[in-house]
Amino acid sequence: MLSRLSKQLSLSASTSRNLLFQKRFSPNDGTSLWSCSFATQSGTSTARQSFVADGSMTDKIFASYSVYKGKAALSTSPMLPTFRKLDSGGVKLDRKGSIMLTFWPAVGERKYDWEKKQCFALSATEVGSMINMGPQDTREFFHDPAMLSSNAGQVRKSLSIKPHADGSGYFFSLNVVNNILKTNERLVVPVTAAEFAVMRTAVSFALPRIMGWDQYSNQPLGTAHKNPSKVLPHLTDSEWDK
């Protein structure tokens, strides 16, 4: 019962993201295509009043962590959240960030076809579930990118993380059933314990950032008032003369 509630949460989390996407892409673009077009982007958005860039390429950062294995490759990268300004003057998290997992198949000896990539955007709670895994634990997440839209149920994605029999790592498996494109694809990437340790450390670093919590940082006070050109309005002398 708890897990069902939890699943609903993760679904609605990815949904709020995807509904925003729906505004920008016709369903016929194909879910797997557009969702991946954001895989390595630094949380851009065309939403009005977004605090981040207007979708121009200048915001794209490409620094994924990628592992290449026999049948497919897997890359991991953060998608930062977007913020909007409130009439009150405050700033509010708009679209939640995520950790984007991108799978793409091998098509030969160390050759991989990026065009055939499939993505899965982990919500904060799904990231918490992943970094919390013990050596023998298993996880499975379900997403419907078109949930709550007229295409609900047309595309079903499931990600499973299963331990190697010898505890030396995990199998990451992404299954995408797309009734629009009439496709059913499955991509499996074995991840070693060392590679998972990198993923765990890197996504733990990224988690507060995709949540927007790096906004909760203090102004550098020790130096700010030494450099008048950088002093904020509320740090001017007038502040002290009130």
Range in contact with a copy of itself (rule: CB under 8 A) among 26-34, 111-119, 143-151, 208-216: 208-216
CA–CA separation, 202 vs 62, rounded Å? Answer: 15
Residue 135 in the binding site for a copy of itself (CB under 8 A): no
CA–CA separation, 106 vs 68, rounded Å? Answer: 9
Residue 85 in the binding site for a copy of itself (CB under 8 A): yes
**2/23 with CB nearer a copy of itself:** 2
Complete DSSP assignment for 215-227: GS----HHHHTT-
Cβ-count burial 198-230 (b if 16+ within 10 Å, e if not) = ebbeebeebbeebbbeeeeeeeeeeeeeeeeee
Where in 91-110 is the site for a copy of itself (CB under 8 A)?
91-93
CB of 16 to a copy of itself, least distance (A): 12
Residue 194 in the binding site for a copy of itself (CB under 8 A): yes
**43/145 with CB nearer a copy of itself:** 43
Residue 16 in the binding site for a copy of itself (CB under 8 A): no
Residue 223 in the binding site for a copy of itself (CB under 8 A): yes
Residue type, 22: Q
Neighbours of 77 (CB within 10 A): 22
CB of 183 to a copy of itself, least distance (A): 27
Both tokens assigned to 158 = 């499931």
**5/28 with CB nearer a copy of itself:** 5
Between β-strands 111-112 and 139-143, what pairing exists: parallel, antiparallel or unpaired? unpaired
CB of 146 to a copy of itself, least distance (A): 20
CA–CA separation, 156 vs 146, rounded Å? Answer: 9
Residue 114 in the binding site for a copy of itself (CB under 8 A): no
Both tokens assigned to 121 = 């955007």
**150/218 with CB nearer a copy of itself:** 218
Which of 11, 19, 20, 198 lies at the binding interface for a copy of itself (CB under 8 A)? 198
Residue 186 in the binding site for a copy of itself (CB under 8 A): no
